[in-house]
Amino acid sequence: MKVPVTVIIPTLNCRVKLKRHLDGIEDWLPLAGEVIAVDSNSSDGTKELLEKRLNPYGAKIISTRPGLYQAWNLAAANATQPYVYYSTVCDIIGKKEFLELTSLIINSNTDVIISPPKIVSYDGINMENIKWPIHYVLKYLNFHKGITILDDLQKQYMVSVFFPASIIGSSASNLYRTEVIKENPFPSDVGSVGDTFWALRNIPSLKVGIAEKEYATFCWDGVRNGEWDESGEITAKFRNESIKLDHGPHTIGYINDRILEECLQLRAYVRCIERPLVLKIKDTVLTYTSVRFWFNKIVARIKFSK
């Protein structure tokens, strides 16, 4: 039986990786209510591989200009199923997990289901030392039947404190209500942190569920989070967005106004520290600008979990 999910596969010159990806999802792909591939004018045979492998499933294959979030939005605009799943190349979800995640969002009647990804290397080795915001929040939440529904305070906190990282983590581990994405597309003018801005703009007004279980993998490419926005332009956009939120509790305002400012300044200092004699200083700065440090310090005090 088909499930009410549009599976979106964005591609750009990734023929070798795409073959491996399709091999990894082939056992459940026929269960998807719809499959849409969006190729950004690849020149290495990626589109031809998509046509060969996906035509048996009646997939729509769309060509567009390069741009990840633009591709996501274009595919979602063409989706006909109630939910969308972004199957990004190299990030794999199994058949059982795909069906469970779908059941979670349907049964909870949520707009977004966020699950913690299992972060692995390209060779499939578990990268247990790599943690994202979604991994840190789990121990502060109360789960019932594998899910917790965030309250207003939790949502406002989580979309603010982790910037420039995002609580939604990898979209290959999440499910979204199609209508929500169509009405609120991912922003394409904020560099590589469009998911962070999407969360900031939309999560406070949506019904959001956090899944307790890891459902999909995320292929770690070794890029350090936070090395972005040399000009400060994106930071300015973030500030303009954040002040629109109705931050009621004083703690939330303090996080936005004070800690964010300190962390961004310290991250700027890190880029100036390169000499071997000051590596210890660099390590100290990185500690004080880490998600884990601030989350453990602050959340333990405000105890916002239900």
pLDDT surpassing 50 at residue 225: no
| The pLDDT value given to residue 189 | 83
Tracing tokens 């006909």 back to the chain, one arrives at: 80
**For 18-36, what is each residue's pLDDT tens digit?**
999 999 999 999 999 999 9
- Tokens in use for 199? 């969360």
CA 76/CA 8 separation, integer angstroms? 8
Q: Over range 224-239, report the average pLDDT.
A: 54
Run of H or E including 153: helix 152-161
CA 200/CA 209 separation, integer angstroms? 16
Residue 29 DSSP class: G
Closest CA to 132 of 291, 26, 300, 305: 291
Q: Over range 270-293, report the average pLDDT.
A: 52
The predicted model scores a pTM of: 0.80
CA 179/CA 79 separation, integer angstroms? 9
Across 3-12, 111-120, 152-161, 223-232, least confident range? 223-232
Run of H or E including 167: none
Q: Over range 236-263, report the average pLDDT.
A: 54
Angle between helix axes 152-161 and 291-302 (nearest 10 degrees) is 150
Report which of residues 280 and 237 the model is more confident about.
237
pLDDT surpassing 90 at residue 123: no
pLDDT surpassing 90 at residue 275: no
Residue partners of 128: CB distance under 8 A and separation at least 6? none
| The pLDDT value given to residue 239 | 64
The whole-angstrom distance between residue 26's C-alpha and the CA centroid of its chain comes to: 23
Report which of residues 42 and 140 the model is more confident about.
42
Report which of residues 115 and 237 the model is more confident about.
115
| The pLDDT value given to residue 1 | 83
Buried b (16+ CB within 10 A) or exposed e, 33-71: bbbbbbbbebeeebbebbeebbeeeebbbbebeebbbbb
For residue 155, which amino acid is it? K
| The pLDDT value given to residue 198 | 92
Q: Contact 178/84 with Cβ under 8 angstroms?
A: yes
Write 257-264 long-range contacts (CB < 8 A, 24+).
259/161, 259/294, 259/298, 260/160, 260/161, 260/163, 262/288, 263/288, 263/289, 263/294, 264/235
How far, in Å, are 87, 94, 111, 216, 224 from residue 239 at the CA level? 31, 38, 25, 32, 23
Run of H or E including 156: helix 152-161
Sheet with 208-211: strands ordered across: 60-63, 32-39, 3-11, 83-86, 175-177, 112-114, 208-211, 147-149
Q: Over range 132-144, report the average pLDDT.
A: 87
**For 170-223, what is each residue's pLDDT tens digit?**
999 999 999 999 999 999 887 777 888 899 889 989 999 999 999 999 998 754
| The pLDDT value given to residue 190 | 78
| The pLDDT value given to residue 306 | 40
